[in-house]
């Protein structure tokens, strides 16, 4: 497998690169082998058949080609400020071309009255167009004849060292001239390549760097994207199929006393249609004989807790116990209280176990867990410690999954000989493409309907200059007996200044709202202190809570109707959405006010406007994925992908991903262990790609 030889070839041994350039490429672009460079793809292509006329330049210009001659060269300025300014004419108009470096070399390399093709980004100043450090081609050189040329991602530093897109292209061409490249075999089974009319691998690599037309570039890219996505899917599906084939689950056949009596007598309100549907899906899973692994997605406030309770009741009806895990003590306590309020009247024994549960209570819990009299254990990480044992754990619900590491979830597995059914609840609306890729065969249920009577949160973007108006709004709400959150960013890199502005903010709020009590929490506080402040707010003794994102998850104070988020531009969209979910939990109209400096860029403004234009978490998550890429997506960063994608994008290549998934499924249907001769190159490639990665298909 010669692609492996390219993987094993350090860049400095590639012809024309050498140790100095290799070092630079490694530092700046993270490229360390010939393979890395081969997989450093152009981000886009320049149509070299399109020549712009200088006369037609206007507004914001893209990178363009112009064809013409230098009229004059002049050295301007002194010392470090010295630059070379040339006048360039294409017959329609003239522009300036400016160089700040390598002046002498350039002065010698180019002549007047000779035709060149310039490639660069024109900018206008005072009615005059200029181009700084363009790439320059002699139209008679062979390189200039290439109709489409890739534009490679570069860093500022590389540009300063005069490494251009063209240099990268030449280095890649060098690799393609080697016998190692020549020997590359296609890892995709020929059947798939044929059926889907994919470009063969070597051809695709050639064309992606050096396409003859836009259409060919597109086909080459699609082929390479497909391969990446296919490998990803095949890897996940292979493990998850193996897992589900081997994991026997409790078979919950009956819907009995607990479920029925709760449903008929204690249900606090009619279920929404979505809640009903999801419970049905879960019931079917639990009766399949295999272990359930289901992700329950539902926007904040959609009523996941009730679904969790009813699911746990089915476990009880079938002689099993259940547990519910939450990431923090506050959340666990809230869940415990909610579940107790609903379940205790129906005769269900529910207990809370956290890090601060006293030993005596712990002992009682352990005793009841083993004699089976404890039905539901709610808690934090404390529940998954090895010394906590159940008589028969049949159902584990995990709330806000992204706070639990994979290893911690794996511990649930070992609590009983038959693993419990697992329901992971999340309010992070993971887009389908991402869920499919990260979780493989994990089933997904979605609660896509809010309980009736909810008013969507009104989201407003306000600038620092409008602060008075914002405070007046808070005042009005407080006078109506409502409560308000004021949220500040607290980010590791800026911890010191952030803490400072948080404390300043707190004292300003205390001064401004003298008639009210203001609670104050942040992640750096001791847990006991934090809990004390939180309960002040939760109980209504404090009317304002100044906080950091510690309140992001699960806090339930329906009387809080306003949230002000300071420096909103510094938060990710998904995070803003999570925060916003803390208001609008009661029947009253709620508001989320995003505060920002007036001087934010266009992109930031657009980002914040997504928040003001929709309350749909999926729309927000999709937008976030598109703008920031999957690695950054809140809540999925931890789950991540097992490999880096070089060319495919989960945000934009959804249809291709589905196609890849179908192809992988079909292949595994026919050859579950990939033992056929045709699959050998595939296995080798998967080994090279995934050997060091984690088995993500095991979500618990």
Window contacting ligand ADP (CB under 6 A); options: 12-20, 293-301, 407-415, 534-542: 293-301
Figure out which of the listed residues 122, 150, 211, 301 binds ligand ADP, where binding follows CB under 6 A.
Answer: 301
**Angle between helix 214-246 and 432-439 (nearest 10):** 50
Task: Provide the terminal-to-terminal Cα distance of the chain, rounded to the nearest Å.
Answer: 36
Stretch that binds ligand ADP, among 193-201, 265-273, 428-436, 637-645 (CB under 6 A): 265-273
Report the nearest approach of ligand ADP to the CB of residue 442 (Å): 19
Helices 304-317 and 329-343, axial angle in degrees (round to 10): 60
378 within 8 A of 328, measured Cβ to Cβ? no
Contact between 272 and ligand ADP per CB under 6 A = yes
Supply the angle between the helices 654-670 and 432-439 in degrees, to the nearest 10.
30
Q: Of the two residues 278 and 679, which places its CB atom closer to ligand ADP in the complex?
A: 278
Q: Which residue is nearest to ligand ADP (CB)?
A: 303
User: Least distance from C-beta 323 to ligand ADP, angstroms?
Assistant: 17
Number of residues in contact with ligand ADP under rule CB under 6 A: 15
Q: Using the rule CB under 6 A, which residue among 167, 222, 235, 275 binds ligand ADP?
A: 275
Positive or negative torsion for Cα 352, 355, 361, 367: positive
Please, which residue, 302 or 636, has the CB nearer to ligand ADP? 302
Cβ at position 499, least distance to ligand ADP in Å? 29
CA–CA dist 458, 473 (Å, integer): 13
Q: Which run of H or of E encompasses 44?
A: strand 44-47
Q: Judged by CB under 6 A, does residue 305 bind ligand ADP?
A: yes
Q: Is 300 in the site for ligand ADP (CB under 6 A)?
A: yes
Q: Does 304 bind ligand ADP (CB under 6 A)?
A: yes
Query: Given the complex with ligand ADP, which of 403 and 415 has the nearer CB atom?
Result: 403
Among 279, 306, 313, 565, binds ligand ADP (CB under 6 A): 306
How would you class 336 by CB atoms within 10 Å of its CB: exposed for 0-12, middle for 13-18, buried for 19 or more?
A: buried
In the set 302, 328, 380, 574, which binds ligand ADP (CB under 6 A)?
302
Side-chain-side CA neighbours of residue 316 (13 Å): 27
Q: In this chain, which of 42, 303, 429, 431 binds ligand ADP, going by CB under 6 A?
A: 303
- For residue 532, the number of C-alpha atoms closer than 13 Å in the C-beta half-sphere is 5
In whole angstroms, give the CA distance from residue 523 to residue 21: 45
Nearer to ligand ADP, 303 or 419 (CB): 303
Cβ proximity to ligand ADP: between 189 and 298 the closer is: 298
Q: Report the residue from 427, 438, 544, 594 that binds ligand ADP according to the rule CB under 6 A.
A: 427
561 forms part of the interface with ligand ADP (CB under 6 A): no
Candidate list 111, 215, 257, 269; residue touching ligand ADP; CB under 6 A: 269
Smallest gap from Cβ 305 to ligand ADP, in A, equals 3
Dist CA 647 CA 40 (whole Å): 9
In the sheet where 64-76 sits, what is the strand order? 122-125, 128-132, 94-99, 83-89, 64-76, 115-120, 135-137
The answer to whether 8 and 689 are in contact (CB under 8 A) is no
We find the least distance from the C-beta atom of residue 693 to ligand ADP, in angstroms, to be 32
Q: Is 49 exposed, middle or buried (0-12, 13-18, 19+ CB in 10 A)?
A: exposed
Strands (E), 408-537: 421-426, 443-447, 458-463, 483-487, 518-521
Q: Which two tokens stand for residue 128?
A: 């005059």
Question: Does residue 271 interact with ligand ADP by CB under 6 A?
Answer: yes
**Scanning residues 435 to 494, which ones bind ligand ADP (CB under 6 A)?**
451
For the bound state, the minimum distance from the C-beta of residue 516 to ligand ADP, rounded and expressed in Å, comes to: 25
Contact set with ligand ADP (CB under 6 A): 269, 271-272, 275, 298, 300-306, 427, 451, 556
């Amino acid at each position: 497998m010669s692609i492996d030889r390219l993987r094993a070839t350090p860049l400095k041994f590639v012809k024309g690169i050498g140790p100095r350039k290799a070092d630079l490429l490694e530092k700046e672009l993270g490229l360390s082998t010939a393979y890395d460079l081969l997989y450093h793809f152009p981000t886009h292509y320049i149509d070299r058949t399109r020549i712009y006329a200088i006369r037609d330049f206007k507004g914001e210009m893209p990178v363009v080609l112009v064809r013409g001659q230098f009229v004059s060269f002049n050295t301007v300025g002194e010392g470090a400020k010295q630059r070379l300014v040339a006048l360039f004419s294409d017959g329609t108009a003239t522009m300036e071309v400016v160089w700040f470096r390598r002046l002498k070399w350039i002065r010698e390399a180019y002549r007047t009255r000779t035709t060149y093709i310039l490639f660069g980004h024109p900018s206008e100043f005072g009615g005059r167009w200029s181009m700084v450090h363009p790439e320059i081609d002699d139209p008679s050189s062979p390189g200039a004849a290439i109709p489409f040329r890739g534009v490679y991602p570069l860093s500022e530093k590389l540009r300063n060292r005069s490494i251009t897109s063209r240099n990268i292209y030449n280095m890649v061409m060098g690799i393609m001239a080697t016998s190692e490249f020549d020997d590359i075999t296609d890892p995709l089974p020929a059947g798939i390549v044929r059926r889907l009319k994919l470009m063969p691998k070597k051809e695709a690599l050639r064309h992606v760097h050096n396409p003859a037309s836009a259409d060919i570039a597109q086909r080459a890219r699609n082929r390479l994207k497909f391969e990446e996505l296919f490998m990803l899917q095949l890897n996940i599906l292979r493990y998850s199929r193996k897992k589900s084939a081997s994991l026997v689950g409790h078979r919950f056949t009956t819907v009995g006393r607990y479920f029925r009596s709760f449903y008929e007598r204690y249900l606090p309100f009619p279920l929404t249609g979505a809640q009903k549907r999801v419970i049905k899906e879960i019931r079917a899973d639990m009766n399949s004989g295999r272990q359930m692994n289901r992700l329950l997605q539902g926007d904040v406030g959609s009523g996941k807790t009730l679904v969790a309770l009813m699911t746990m009741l089915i476990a009880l009806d079938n002689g099993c116990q259940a547990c519910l895990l939450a990431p923090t003590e506050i959340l666990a306590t809230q869940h415990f209280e909610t579940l107790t309020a609903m379940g205790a009247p129906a005769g269900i024994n529910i207990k809370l176990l956290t890090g601060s549960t006293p030993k005596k209570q712990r002992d009682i819990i352990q005793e009841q867990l083993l004699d089976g009299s404890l039905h539901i254990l709610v808690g934090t990480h404390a529940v998954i410690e090895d010394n906590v044992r159940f008589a028969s754990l049949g159902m584990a619900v995990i709330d806000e999954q992204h706070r639990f590491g994979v290893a911690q979830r794996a511990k649930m597995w070992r609590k009983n000989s038959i693993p419990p059914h697992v329901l992971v609840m999340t309010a992070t609306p993971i887009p389908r493409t991402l869920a499919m890729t990260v979780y493989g065969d994990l089933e997904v249920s979605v609660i896509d309907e809010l309980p009736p009577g909810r008013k969507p949160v009104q989201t407003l973007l306000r600038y620092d200059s409008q602060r008075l108006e914002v405070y007046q709004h808070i005042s009005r709400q407080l006078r109506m007996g409502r409560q308000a959150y004021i949220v500040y960013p607290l980010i590791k890199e800026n911890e010191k200044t952030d803490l400072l502005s948080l404390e300043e903010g707190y004292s300003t709020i205390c001064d401004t709202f003298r008639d009210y009590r203001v609670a104050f929490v942040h992640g750096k506080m001791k847990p006991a202190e934090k809990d004390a402040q939180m309960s002040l707010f939760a109980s209504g003794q404090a009317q304002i809570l100044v906080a950091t994102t510690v309140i992001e998850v699960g806090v339930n104070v329906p009387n809080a109707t306003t949230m002000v988020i300071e420096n909103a531009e510094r938060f990710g969209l998904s995070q803003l959405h999570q925060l916003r979910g803390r208001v609008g939990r009661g029947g009253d109209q709620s508001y989320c006010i995003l505060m920002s400096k007036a001087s934010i860029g266009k992109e930031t403004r657009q980002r914040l406007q997504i928040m003001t234009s929709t309350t749909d978490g999926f729309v927000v998550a999709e937008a976030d994925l598109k703008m920031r890429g999957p690695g950054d997506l809140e809540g999925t960063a931890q789950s991540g992908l097992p490999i880096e994608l070089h060319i495919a994008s989960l945000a934009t290549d959804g249809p291709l991903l589905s196609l890849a998934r179908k192809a992988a499924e079909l292949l595994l249907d026919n050859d579950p262990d990939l033992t056929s001769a045709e699959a050998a190159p595939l296995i080798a490639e998967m080994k090279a790609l995934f050997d060091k990665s984690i088995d993500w298909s095991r979500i618990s």
